[in-house]
Structure formats: structure tokens, C-alpha cells
Amino acid sequence: MIDVTLLGTSALLPLPDRALTAAALKCAGHTLLFDCGEGTQTAARKAGISLMTADIIALTHYHGDHTFGLPGLMQTMGSMGRIAPLVLTGPAGLHDAMAPILTLAEGLPFPVRLLSLPDEGLRMDTLFPGWPPMARLTAFPTCHRVPSQGYCFSLGRAGKFNPERARALGVPLALWSTLQSGQAVRLPNGAVQPEQVMGPSRPGLKCVFTGDTAPCASLTEAARGADLMICEATYGQDDQADTAAQYGHMTFSQAGEAAANAQVKRLWLAHFSQRIEDPLVFLPNAQAYFPGAQCGRDGLRITLTFPPDA
């Protein structure tokens, strides 16, 4: 199960009813934050989401509208008594970009660690105990005016457990959960491997956060089949495609097209230019490509659950 809350939907500058684009992802009681512009901490409070124990903040790039909320959020975490380390990740240039931010927030009662994600992604429980073993955060390159990346959070799902097999192999009930979590168990008459009692792995869940980007093949590839794609859609009108390309952004139509190409299940549009008064006006442009497209709004929330077994 993954719980995703869109904290903001604005581009460039925060508006009273549209905070800067960011999203919180909760899984098994743990929290990950995508981007952190000025006001993200307030937007989270408004949405009823606590970021105080977030394990990792994944930055898509280092423009101010995606990062200027960090010093304040970190100070608030500190004033709330946080002592657990906080990991910040982002594209190339992380250390330089974070230097002034860490200077501003100096004196925190918890360590801040800067981490570049490995190419194969980060298995969350290797750094943060308590995340499900099959939860993984992966970055993929995007196409903005500066080094940038989007994120794919995936939660894998093991195959179906076969209790008859387990019983036949003499595995006591108390050890079933060990096998279910993917680990072998040792019995007097030899070891039992998870594969012996589990069916083939089942489809998991996948959530993609694009950050700022023009349409690009790496996004389509990373988002393929995602349960939820939160996609930037800075410009409403199709005739703004040139401007969008110039600044490394997308139109509503292009976001719809990207979702269609990637065959995602759900599309939330976000990162609206402040010139867009009501994003719903332009929603049909995205829906022409992806009929299920939704306009994101601050506080929009979804719980993604595993599909029922076939």
C-alpha cells in the first residue's frame, strides 16, 4: 500500500491556494518527500501530513521553487525534536546546491546526509529500517534547463504463499512470515527456500514524480505502467509548446501524451504556471491524449493498493 498526497501544484512561485509543487509518499508508516519549495511544510500541515519523520527528500533539481523550503522544514524538524538522520538526494551538483541551504539551517540536532542514488535505485530498507523490503526509489534523467531527474518509487510484491507446500515441508507456522518476507528458514532436516513455498512474484505498485521536464523518452520508459504519474504541466495551451520547450517544460497536451505513451494507470497534472487561473479549463487538452487525466490540486490524495490476485 502506498499513500500519495500532492502538497502543491504551483510553478515558479507559491500562491495562496496553490503551494509550490511537491508530494509526500507514505508507505508502511514511513515518509518520502518529493521536492521542497518555499511553503512545503505549511502545505503539508494543511493537508494533514506530517513530514517531521520523513526519511528522505528527493529533489528533482535545484531551482528555488523546488528547494527553498528546505531550511525552514529542517529547522522545524529540529525544533520538534528530530534526531534521526535526514537524507537529501538529487541530480548532479547536490553538494554545491545544498551548501548554502545547510549553512542557513546550521545547528540542527540531527545529521543531514547527501546521497546520490545508485543507478539501480535505492532499496529503501537498506538505509531506512522499517520500509518494506521490496520498496525502491529510482531516479531517471529528465530534460530541464539544469541537471534534473524524476523519481520512480516502486513497491514490489512477492508471489502468493502456498500453505499446503509449507505444511508438507514441515515449516512451523511461526516461520511462515520469514519465508513470506523472502528469507530462507533452517529446519532440522535442512533449509527451506522462499521459492519452494511462494508462487511467481505478482505485480507491485509504482508511482512516478516527474519534476520539471520537457517530454523525453527516459520519462516514458521510467513511467511505463505506473499506477500514478504526477507530471508537470506548466502550460495550458497547445500553442505554448514552443515556450514550454524553451524552458524545459510541458503543455497539458504533452503531459497527457506522455502518460498515454507510458500507459500509466493514473495521471495527475501539476506544476501549473501562475498565469493559469483554473487548471480545469485546460484539462481537456490532456484528456484528448489520456482520458483519465486529472488536474492535481493541493492536498489531493490517493491510496494505491495491490491489485486483487487474478
List active site positions. Answer: 65
Give Cβ neighbours of residue 237 (< 8 Å, ≥ 6 apart). 251, 252, 282, 285
CA distance 44 to 269: 18
Distance from chain centroid for Cα 11: 18
Count of beta carbons in the 10 Å neighbourhood of residue 100: 11
Residue placing its CB nearer to a second copy in the complex, 79 or 246: 79
Burial class (CB in 10 A: 0-12, 13-18, 19+), 304: buried
Which residues contribute to the site for a second copy (CB under 8 A)?
Answer: 12-16, 19, 37-39, 41-42, 45-46, 64-65, 68-69, 71-72, 75-76, 79, 99-101, 103-105
Min CB(79)–a second copy separation in Å: 6
Q: Could you tell me the sign of the dihedral formed by the alpha carbons of 188, 193, 195, 198, in that order?
A: positive
Residue closer to a second copy (CB basis): 79 or 201: 79
Nearest to a second copy of 156, 299 (CB atom) = 299
| Shortest distance in whole angstroms from residue 197 CB to a second copy | 49
Q: CB of 202: closest distance to a second copy in angstroms?
A: 40
Residue 25 near residue 54, CB atoms below 8 Å: no
Nearer to a second copy, 41 or 154 (CB): 41
Helical segments of 181-303, H only: 217-223, 241-247, 252-261, 283-287
Other Cβ atoms less than 10 A from the Cβ of 295: the count is 21
Provide the minimum distance between the beta carbon of 301 and a second copy in the complex, in angstroms, as a whole number.
Answer: 16
